[in-house]
A = this chain, B = another copy of it.
Amino acid sequence: MPKNAFYAQSGGVTSVINASACGVIERASQAKEIRKVYAGLNGILGALREELIDTSKETKAAIRQLRMTPSGAFGSCRYKLKSPESHPREYERILDVFRAHDIGYFFYNGGGDSQDTANKLAQYSHRQGFPITCIGIPKTVDNDLPLTDTCPGFGSVAKYVAISTLEAALDVRSMAETSTKVFVLEVMGRHAGWIAAAGGLIKNKPSDPPHVIVFPEIAFDPVVFVNKVKAVIAKEGYCVVVASEGAQTAEGRFLAESGVSDAFGHAQLGGVAPFLVDLIKRELGLKCHWALADYLQRAARHIASKTDVEQAYAVGASAVESAIAGHNAVMVTIERLSDAPYRWKTSLVPLRKVANVERKMPRRFITKDGFGITQAAKTYLAPLIHGEDYPAYKTGLPQYASLKRVLVPKKLASAGF
């Protein structure tokens, strides 16, 4: 008997998570084992609130357009389920909703926390005698999931950061004689420097930008940093810095918290660039400019990596195939078969091996001085930004999908979520 499927987007969205949704929905439409795909309105909250979007009410063209549309078209959320032992109510509610809507498949599209939740739900539903097939679909710009070559979402941010660094560097270089000498681009990456590292992809020789990359993995020393900038200016006449928002001191204090941002009382990160600029101005008296890419970097579908889009679609489609082939409590991964030419395929790992493991950038990916990336890092990163996959444009603007988001009629009373 065919069952319905539930698909949810989780955590920070990316420019290609909708490509994964497209992969799930298009592949499921060809599977006799799956009747309908319901998408959670605002992720897992949609299950808790019984707010299920009936994806069969969307046109095929709109579903196709998801492949080209950034953000989470069904809504995502930051909502972490705790353990079913301590907080069974959420799991009970999800099973109630799944039972009421004859849902037998759960596709959870998110990062480490989401994979953990999918794993817990698989076990819990099995114990309750209503087993749900739970498949994790990887997604995170942070590239910190283990056991997969990369995480869909990362390649496109990497491409955005590399291109933005290249373009801004050309700009600064052409003005440096009489104007701005130092440019700092602050990028995401709370715990790992993967995104900052991508800036290094544009460097082919020592004089090329970026001249300094500030990684969370390398304890920040203001004296060493200032001396490095000074030396670069003396030699090249300008200096381009790519800084990770997670940059921190040897004591593990975020730069974003230690200096400038204190003045605002900000809890969230985002002040590394002004901190560095302040330091350079004070110590070297140089004119600086800085940019904060923030959401622009993870939403930049207009310059997405073709490789990333293809992988995002593939992990979605592969999740459906794995489910109907009888797999359960697994996450789809990207497996690298060769570096150059880059060849890859999807594969599977048990969710229990993924949950709560964070992949840091290996030290051998960072140069000895701590300010650049090595050839090993380039070999790893380069193929992830390969290819362009432009959205369709009309009157100068990308034509992104706008879904109807028709909700399935509720069958249960509210449970107060």
Contact = CB atoms under 8 A, between A and B. Distances in A.
Contacts of A278: 264
Listed residue (A78, A185, A296) with the most chain B CB atoms within 10 angstroms of its CB: A296
Contacts of A260: 263-264
Specify how many copies of this chain sit in the oligomer.
2
B294 A175 contact: no
Interface string A293-304: 111101111110
A178 B302 contact: no
Nearest to A178: B77
B164 A71 contact: no
A232 interface: no
A202 interface: yes
A295 B72 CA distance: 28
Contact of A303 (B70, B172, B302): B302
A248 interface: no
A393 B171 CA distance: 19
Interface in A183-233: 183, 185, 201-202
B305 A167 contact: no
Listed residue (A173, A174, A382) with the most chain B CB atoms within 10 angstroms of its CB: A174
Interface string A382-417: 100111101001011110100000000000000000
A380 interface: no
Given A264-B278, A390-B388, A396-B387, A42 B177 contact: yes
A117 to B, nearest CB: 15
Contacts of A264: 260, 274, 278
A314 interface: no
A189 B311 CA distance: 39
Nearest to A273: B292
A359 to B, nearest CB: 22
Interface of A: 9, 12-13, 15, 42, 45, 69-79, 159, 162-164, 166-168, 170-175, 177-179, 183, 185, 201-202, 260, 263-264, 268, 270, 274, 278, 287, 289-296, 298-303, 305, 307, 382, 385-388, 390, 393, 395-398, 400
22 contacts: A9-B174, A12-B179, A15-B167, A45-B178, A70-B167, A70-B171, A71-B173, A72-B174, A162-B396, A163-B302, A164-B300, A167-B296, A168-B294, A260-B264, A268-B287, A270-B290, A291-B296, A292-B292, A303-B303, A305-B396, A385-B395, A385-B396
